[in-house]
Amino acid sequence: MSTWSLVSELSAFSGPCAKKAWRREFPAVLREVGPCLAWIEAIARTSRLSDDQTYAILLCAEELVTNIVRHNPPETAGAAPLCVAMSLQVEEDRVILTIEDNGVAFDVVQAPTKQIEPSIDLLEPGGLGVGLVKRFASNLQYFRTQTGNKVVASFITECASAPDGVKG
C-alpha cells in the first residue's frame, strides 16, 4: 500500500515559487508506476510547473522506477520487500526528484548509455531509459546508501517572466 505525505511547506516566496516537499513510499512493482506518475502530475499542477518540466520529471521518474523493478531479482524468503521512497521538492529555481530503493546496487550515473546501432536489424529493443534520464534531468547524482540506492535528479525551472523591477 502506498503512503504519501506533504513533508514540509515552506513559503519562502509567494506564488508558484514557494518551497514545498512531498514524499511517497510504495512497493517496487510495475503497477505502482501509473499511480506514481499521477502523484507527480498532481504536484506539478498544484505547483504550476511548466508542461516541459513536468514531462521531464515524469519521464525520469518512470524510467528510474521501472529500472528498479526490472533489475532486481525476485524476493527470496526472509529478504525485505523491494520498496521505493520518492520525494519531490519544489524550490524557487528547480525541482528535485529523489528516489531511494533497497535493491541491488545500480549507479545510474555510471551506467552506460545504449548506443543506437547503424541498422534497425541490429538494434535490440529496450535499454534506452538510462540515456533518457541523463538527457532530461538537468543534474543527476547517485549515492549508495546503507540500505540501497539513492538517485537525486534536479530539473531547472525556466522562469516565464523577469523578476519585478527588471526590464526585459
Partner 1 sequence: MKLEIAELENGIVKVLLSGRLDVDGALEIDDAFRTAVGGKKNVVVDLADVTYLASLGIRTLVIGAKAASQMGGKLVVLAPQRNVEKVLRESNIDTLIPILGDDADVDLVFGF
Select 15 or 112, whichever has its Cβ closest to partner 1: 112
Between the two ends of the chain, the Cα-to-Cα distance in Å is: 49
CA distance 83 to 111: 21
Select 111 or 123, whichever has its Cβ closest to partner 1: 123
Smallest gap from Cβ 164 to partner 1, in A, equals: 30
Select 55 or 142, whichever has its Cβ closest to partner 1: 55
Smallest gap from Cβ 66 to partner 1, in A, equals: 6
**Residue-by-residue DSSP string for 41-85:** HHHHHHTT--HHHHHHHHHHHHHHHHHHHHTSPPPPTTSPPPEEE
Smallest gap from Cβ 124 to partner 1, in A, equals: 8
- Judged by the rule CB under 8 A, the positions of this chain that interact with partner 1 are 30, 33-34, 37, 51-52, 55, 58-59, 62-63, 66, 116-117, 119-121, 123, 125-129, 131-132, 135-136
Cβ-proximal residues to 92 (8 Å cutoff; 6+ apart), any chain: 12, 13, 17, 19, 157
Select 33 or 96, whichever has its Cβ closest to partner 1: 33
